[in-house]
Structure 1
């Protein structure tokens, strides 16, 4: 007599494989682009030394003098952002919009010479970051990556159930049987990398999910709050501070994204001036050098960026996404008076925001220098090995002459728990839950059509 097939488990088994086929291309892409971005500091210095490095001199020009040199070289360009030199041997950088094209301009801070330019979107790191976050297709790409990351979490958790050790030996679970050949070797590679890498992969997926446009935004809205009195006394824009971040470039730290964006007071431009000498309401009274001086007085460490005001109510935003999250700063200044309107620092982060910020710093390989970079690169390599071995194992076990799911195994325990966990994850990650429901309905429909198409058997 044949052993009865648990239908729920059979459904979960099919979904595990089909979801794996959907997720694998995304995991490969995320691992490769992630490794590129992990080593951004080293790669940038290797690829663009003539843009990033300068010979120090006795006296540096101030930010307004450098801006004048840039305006002279690019008179039609609109200045968007200024990045002061982070060290004595580093160049200054201006981000401009010229005829609809965003450029990074590099300037020698001592001599005022333009070192060169770079397309802000069309360079290795910008492309890697945009691919990693949006597949270069905006919101749709963000949602696809979020869906793939959510399903990858489901795969990791369900995979632990599927490969849970059933015997006392560690071969094939704790270490691969290298003497094995064919499908068994690939199975061991998949199981062992999954076993040891599960926690690390979950960490990478969950910290990455905090940046997504749907789940990440909802997560931040629930857990990331700031003291109300911090923003009560200043007028606010309807846009959050996170609107300054873009797919190809991060400006403000994650923890500051949900903070309100203050606005400048155009009337402050006229304080202390008679009517004949009033500045135009859309012309900032304070210059870039004054912003840099205010940032230094406010204790902002080197390495920050200055985003220029947009329109008569825009603000200067000084932002530092430091390698150590406790040094992060987001400071908004009135463009006319230079008055600090709001500052978001580590002290204002809630417990969850601090934990996520530390997790993101680890994810990006920033917290512990090269050791952190190498560790995260190792996780990416584990993911690649697990993805490739899973694909090969599926191919070797698929039904002969079919593109379908490998035969169902009946010797695996805890299948009900695995299904329950998948359902809970579907609730925790709504895009996964919605796709889970859609796949279930499609599966039921196809099954009904197959049954309806079978010829009737007479008794």
Structure 2
């Protein structure tokens, strides 16, 4: 056995151990919160049926009449978004600042009655999504999640190297030896579930990485390209559409996050534009007119309308559809109602289309309940792999120590794994930097502290 063979196996073993030690708490959290968010439609209808469901009675009020009723009930509410009813049996929803909190207010579109309120950042789905994306601690949490996802990819690659069949037959490789006991049982459970779940886990990790604040944003800047001519005649602000998304809620699709937000012309109302449909407040077009434009342009139900935040802001119609081919993002001048931008699936590039398709599959939205159950299965595989990995480490840890379990040395050098590891470090900068840091720490300190004695299989 050559020295460099043992050395590389040593390194792969340590990387797998360190990656697991760091990643497992995050993976458990991501699996649990992801499992909750997968069933958002069912859970929302179950938990908030009194807020979301209505009985159709007569003719529905216009969006402006609904807003007026809301203002009568909550005159202090600063409304920022309107979500029209998705069908005749669902309520309308307004998002507003109320008593210093971002609040969802549900309105019966037939009577105008406010059905109730919900803290927009402190409900089950909002908390699950925020934990999933930022650990509820903003940018620092986002970077930790990104680092954990990157290290999870290292975990999968190093795990496949350690799993690689070595002529011992199919048992313990492709299916667990269920009759075994103790450490061997847990080893098989960990290795076999890890193998069968590896491709799905990589899919989940890579599609999730596109939403991260550092790597995801850089990836979007490189691959999300739209024809420059789309914006030639459009007055643009210094903000991007991603500013409409928050940790707790998604408004626009990933593919359009890096597109510029247009601005409205405050003088449009005085330039001879048709004043029909404009509200009495500063010449702003009526909310119902924005709804009508969405309908005329074939925007599918489930869209939101973000209201202008200031005198130069725009109305933004956006739907991140279950089928990304129905995605739509429109920006309207708040004074003239002119459509300044209208971005659809056909405008996306190949990479953007692939990412959007991957994201809706990741979220269990594309082919209904079957998609949800498949992704739930992945979440359960992640939990099983994490728990079995912890148990296996506990059983093999050095006596009286929390260090690296004893090493085996019966694997050949898998050069492809080395190339993949280097590639991962280059593709994901946070992972690459942390790999260098861990390697330096391991070489300078940890490898000299014992607990890594090489043993035979």
1:115-126, aligned counterparts within 5 Å? 115-126=115-126
Query: Which deviates more from structure 2 when the two are superposed, residues 81-90 or residues 166-175?
Result: 166-175
Contact 2:264 2:333 (8 Å CA) reproduced: yes
For the pair 1:106 / 2:100, whether they are aligned, the reply is: no
1:45-124, aligned counterparts within 5 Å? 45-124=45-124
1:155-234, aligned counterparts within 5 Å? 155-167=155-167, 169-234=169-234
Q: Which residue of 2 aligns with 1:294?
A: 293
Q: Which residue of 2 aligns with 1:341?
A: 340
For the pair 1:356 / 2:349, whether they are aligned, the reply is: no
Q: Which residue of 1 aligns with 2:453?
A: none
Contact 1:304 1:320 (8 Å CA) reproduced: yes
By how many angstroms is 1:447 displaced?
Answer: 5.7
Structure 2: gaps of 5 or more residues? 451-457
Q: 1:248 to 1:285 in 2, by over 3 A?
A: same
Q: 1:434 to 1:322 in 2, by over 3 A?
A: same
TM-score by length of structure 2 reads 0.94
Contact 2:285 2:335 (8 Å CA) reproduced: yes
By how many angstroms is 1:279 displaced?
Answer: 9.6
Q: Which residue of 1 aligns with 2:454?
A: none
Query: Which deviates more from structure 2 when the two are superposed, residues 406-415 or residues 34-43?
Result: 406-415
TM-score by length of structure 1 reads 0.94
Contact 1:244 1:251 (8 Å CA) reproduced: yes
Partner of 2:445, secondary structure, is helix
Q: 1:447 to 1:186 in 2, by over 3 A?
A: closer
2: CA distance between counterparts of 1:284 and 1:310? 15
- Runs of 4+ residues over 6 Å off in structure 1: 1-5, 448-451
By how many angstroms is 1:273 displaced?
Answer: 8.2
By how many angstroms is 1:299 displaced?
Answer: 1.3
By how many angstroms is 1:2 displaced?
Answer: 10
Per-residue CA deviations over 1:18-77 (Å, capped at 9, x if unaligned) read 110100000000000000000000000000110000001120000000000111111111
By how many angstroms is 1:100 displaced?
Answer: 1.9
Contact 1:242 1:256 (8 Å CA) reproduced: yes
Q: Which residue of 1 aligns with 2:398?
A: 399
1: CA distance between counterparts of 2:273 and 2:316? 25
Q: 1:264 to 1:273 in 2, by over 3 A?
A: closer
Q: Which residue of 2 aligns with 1:455?
A: none
By how many angstroms is 1:442 displaced?
Answer: 2.2
By how many angstroms is 1:444 displaced?
Answer: 3.3
Per-residue CA deviations over 1:252-274 (Å, capped at 9, x if unaligned) read 11111111111111110212389
2: CA distance between counterparts of 1:103 and 1:249? 12
Q: 1:346 to 1:5 in 2, by over 3 A?
A: closer
Contact 1:269 1:279 (8 Å CA) reproduced: no
1:252-331, aligned counterparts within 5 Å? 252-272=252-272, 283-331=282-330
Per-residue CA deviations over 1:110-152 (Å, capped at 9, x if unaligned) read 0110100000000000000000000000000000000000000
Partner of 1:266, secondary structure, is coil
2: CA distance between counterparts of 1:131 and 1:185? 33
Q: 1:370 to 1:78 in 2, by over 3 A?
A: same
Q: 1:401 to 1:5 in 2, by over 3 A?
A: farther
2: CA distance between counterparts of 1:407 and 1:313? 65
By how many angstroms is 1:370 displaced?
Answer: 0.3
Per-residue CA deviations over 1:267-288 (Å, capped at 9, x if unaligned) read 10212389xxx999x8352011
By how many angstroms is 1:8 displaced?
Answer: 3.6
1: CA distance between counterparts of 2:181 and 2:194? 19
Q: 1:364 to 1:2 in 2, by over 3 A?
A: closer
Contact 1:35 1:377 (8 Å CA) reproduced: yes
Q: Which residue of 2 aligns with 1:388?
A: 387
1: CA distance between counterparts of 2:205 and 2:256? 21
1: CA distance between counterparts of 2:405 and 2:50? 55
Partner of 1:46, secondary structure, is helix
Query: Which deviates more from structure 2 when the two are superposed, residues 36-45 or residues 416-425?
Result: 416-425
Contact 2:207 2:359 (8 Å CA) reproduced: yes
Structure 1: gaps of 5 or more residues? 452-459
Q: Which residue of 2 aligns with 1:454?
A: none
Contact 2:151 2:431 (8 Å CA) reproduced: yes
What is the Cα-based RMSD across aligned positions, in Å? 2.0
Matched residue pairs, number?
447
Q: 1:220 to 1:284 in 2, by over 3 A?
A: farther
